[in-house]
Amino acid sequence: VEVYQDCNVFNTGAFQFASKKGEKEQNCIYLEHGKPLIFGTNREKGIRLDGAGRPEVVNLSDVKEDDLLFHDEASDNPSHAFSLAQMRWPNSPEPLGVFRAVNRPTYDGEVDRQFKKCQADLGQGDLEKLFNSGDTWEVKSRG
């Protein structure tokens, strides 16, 4: 998550490109799932992939809408979201919106699942038994 915050003391006007009426339409592209990446004051520009697979700005008068990059926030492959994240104003329009939204197992959820499976397979467990099983040793100070 990135938040654009304008501080009147330290960076006043730093994000006008994304907030000022008349400029934001030319400088930002709003990501909408399943829709082509189109922007501009009159929605006259779009984003497609060049021969090397990098996003490039094109005029819609020069290409068909089907040739544009369509946003897929639900893709399992993160490369689409990563390539969009590399687009930064002033070299390209600044993408705004949801880059990626996938449902995947979380770390804490997987740890909890593994813990419950171990308890189901092996039982509750007993620390006293564990401490008194197998080889033991005693650590003594030298002196």
Amino acid identity of residue 84, one-letter, is: L
Is 76 or 138 the better-scoring residue by pLDDT? Answer: 76
Residue 45: pLDDT over 90: yes
Give Rg (Cα) of the chain: 27
* 92-126 residue pLDDT tens: 999 999 999 999 999 999 999 999 999 999 999 89
> What is residue 133's predicted lDDT score, i.e. its pLDDT?
85
User: Quick one: which of 99, 104, 106, 89 has its CA closest to 2?
Assistant: 99
Alpha helices in the chain (DSSP H): 16-19, 24-27, 79-85, 107-122, 127-131
